[in-house]
Structure 1
């Protein structure tokens, strides 16, 4: 029987690393337990899944994932202006601080403080990896049929 290749609904176990173009590591499982997921379950973005589609156990690959395939381009409308009075008085605001906001449906929405100009606070709600090329390195540990529900 031939080994399974990764396809729709495959259960995949793999090691991965995500790096910026300059080689700095964003995340990696190569120094810990591999990740296991089912293709299409939302664990990996579609652009990342497309890169490993067809691979088999034991294969390795290195791919560049462009913003359009990964975390998208930054959306200028996701950068919002706030007044210092919109925040708790005891909150020490600083550039780079990640603050949790509630969106219209009361879901958690993280925002990054981009700048502070007096009482004007600029917060960016774009994904931190938006607009970035991502180097995606993978080593396929196992490929199996999707487990029965």
Structure 2
């Protein structure tokens, strides 16, 4: 029976970017989610529509249906004094709350004696993704 709205789906996946495996759970526990509730990126959820238990598929998902296009406006340079007491490293992810008390994350992309550049884009923004998925169970 094919996947329908509000059903629990259990699946294994392998994620490739530019033909390089960057994540997989084939050697771990499969993930479980409720189909149709937006718990997966748009392209992955729409790509598994009509799959059945036991089916496998390769899905090529453009950035626009994954984590969005990279937006250079979401990068900013901040005075290093605002980071006093933090051992800043390029690639580290900082967390803060915005004016609506929502958690935001920023990746440190550059550190100088005067400034810190942070990027608010999702780390996979701008990336086309390739998923290999296997539907383990539909409940």
Larger radius of gyration: 1
Q: Is there any run of 5+ residues in structure 2 with no aligned partner, and where?
A: none
Alpha-carbon displacement from aligned partner over 1:5-55 (angstroms, at most 9, x marks no partner): 013222211111222123232x22211111111112232112111110000
Aligned to 2:97: 102
CA RMSD of aligned residues (A): 1.3
Of the candidates 63, 70, 73, which is equivalent to residue 66 of structure 2? 70
Is 1:55–2:17 an aligned residue pair? no
Task: Give the number of equivalent residue pairs.
Answer: 139
Q: CA deviation at 1:71?
A: 0.5
Mapped partners of 1:112, 1:76: distance in 2: 13
Of the candidates 67, 77, 80, which is equivalent to residue 84 of structure 1? 80
Aligned to 2:42: 46
Q: Which runs of 4+ in 1 moved over 3 A?
A: none
Mapped partners of 1:24, 1:117: distance in 2: 33
Q: CA deviation at 1:104?
A: 1.3
Mapped partners of 2:4, 2:76: distance in 1: 40
Aligned to 1:14: 11
**TM-score (structure 2 length as normaliser):** 0.93
Q: Is there any run of 5+ residues in structure 1 with no aligned partner, and where?
A: 145-149
Mapped partners of 1:76, 1:86: distance in 2: 22
